[in-house]
Structure formats: structure tokens, C-alpha cells
């Protein structure tokens, strides 16, 4: 997905594809910048994601994530408001702002625990911001050859720029899922 984001000129945090072993961790800790996001490539629902702010946290994250496999994406951490935009067919839906209540980030607990997050739809953003992120979500949806529906997640930074975090090719469709709220 990161390669598709780059090919489609969709703003995404600088990233690095990393395949590693336990023996590689000391060198990676020296090379990689913090704060960052470390994500396993075969995960979902925020399982296998770490958001280290220090080198010590990065080292622990790399060790912990080996239980899911040895392939991760490491990207610069972007700070701001978390938003999600669904795509249905050939159009994008209103943005949803996600405000975690159970912690600093929209993690597994925030997603699935009652009261874990406050979700505001439509998000309190400008039409220009919504259209920019919505067009990006739709472009990525089409570039990946998706059909029917998807959901793209963004961070809106303090300067009003949307940074695409990922696309969910099969987002949840329960009454509390984000796409159903849009």
C-alpha cells in the first residue's frame, strides 16, 4: 500500500520496509528515527502496531513484534487529529474524526471497548480538507483495484495537511463500525 500511495502522489509519512531478525535489532535501533510507528505487514485492528517515542521503546517494540513475523513497516510518526473516510462505489463519504478516550491513540481497546473512542461524523474540518482526503481515498481505492467499499485512515496535522496512514480493504460493517456511521 505504501508503494501505491507513493505512486499516486498521496501524502504519507516517510517509511522504510524492514525484514529483520533479533540480531538486527541493535543496528536498526541506531539507524531508525524516533518517534515512529512500527507496523507488522500482515496485521489488522491495531494488533502488531507500536508507537515508540524513544530508542529504548523502539528496541522493545522490535523485539515484541517479532512474535508476529519478521516483516514490518517503520514510518515517521505524524501528529494530529485522526480521521477516517469511507469509499462506497465511486464516491467518498463524509469524514469521521476519531478521538480516543481510553488512551493516546486509536488502538485495539479504543476501537472495540465500549466508550473507547468518540467518533464525530461529519468531522469538524473544512470542505477543502474533506475533499482533499476524500479524493486521495478514492484514488487509492481505484489504484488498488478495490470495488464496493473501503476505508482510508488519515492524520490531519496542525497545518491542515492530511497524511494517509493506510487503507482498510475490508473494514468492519457492524453498527459501531466507522463506515456505517458515514
> pLDDT tens, 58-98?
999 999 999 999 999 999 999 999 999 999 999 999 999 99
* Percent of the chain whose predicted confidence (pLDDT) is above 90: 75
pLDDT of residue 166 exceeding 80: yes
Distance CA 54, CA 133 (A): 30
CA distances from 131 to 47, 58, 101, 113 (A): 30, 35, 27, 31
CA distances from 109 to 60, 112, 137, 155 (A): 20, 5, 25, 19
- For residues 6 and 12, the answer to whether their CB atoms sit within 8 Å is yes
Average pLDDT, the chain: 88
Q: Measure the CA angle with vertex 12, ends 9 and 13; round to 5°.
A: 140
Picking from 165, 161, 163, the residue whose alpha carbon sits closest to that of residue 73 is 165
Where residue 169 falls among pLDDT bands split at 50, 70, 90? Answer: confident
Report pLDDT for 119.
85
- For residues 78 and 155, the answer to whether their CB atoms sit within 8 Å is yes
Whether the full predicted model's pTM is greater than 0.85, yes or no, is no
Mean pLDDT of 33-53: 89
Long-range contacts of 144-147 (CB under 8 A, 24+ apart): 144/1, 144/4, 144/169, 146/87
Name the grid cell of 21. 531478525
Query: With DSSP H G I counted as helix, E B as strand and the rest as coil, what are the percentages for the chain, rounded to 5?
Result: 30, 35, 35
Amino acid at each position: 500500500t505504501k508503494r501505491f500511495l507513493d505512486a499516486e502522489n498521496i501524502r504519507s509519512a516517510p517509511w522504510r520496509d524492514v525484514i529483520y531478525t533479533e540480531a538486527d535489532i541493535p543496528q536498526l535501533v541506531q539507524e531508525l528515527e524516533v518517534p515512529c510507528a512500527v507496523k507488522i505487514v500482515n496485521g489488522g485492528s491495531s494488533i502488531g502496531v507500536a508507537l515508540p517515542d524513544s530508542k529504548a521503546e523502539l528496541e522493545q517494540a522490535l523485539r515484541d513484534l517479532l512474535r508476529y513475523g519478521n516483516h514490518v513497516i517503520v514510518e515517521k510518526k505524524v501528529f494530529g487529529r485522526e480521521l477516517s473516510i469511507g469509499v462506497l462505489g465511486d464516491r467518498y463519504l463524509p469524514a469521521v474524526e476519531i478521538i480516543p478516550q481510553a488512551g493516546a491513540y486509536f488502538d485495539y481497546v479504543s476501537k472495540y471497548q465500549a466508550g473507547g473512542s468518540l467518533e464525530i461524523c461529519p468531522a469538524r474540518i473544512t470542505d477543502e480538507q474533506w475533499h482533499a482526503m476524500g479524493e486521495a481515498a478514492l484514488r487509492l481505492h481505484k489504484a488498488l483495484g478495490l470495488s464496493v467499499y473501503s476505508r482510508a485512515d488519515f492524520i490531519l496535522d496542525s497545518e491542515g495537511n492530511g497524511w494517509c496512514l493506510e487503507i482498510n480493504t475490508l473494514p468492519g460493517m457492524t453498527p459501531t463500525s466507522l463506515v456505517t456511521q458515514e
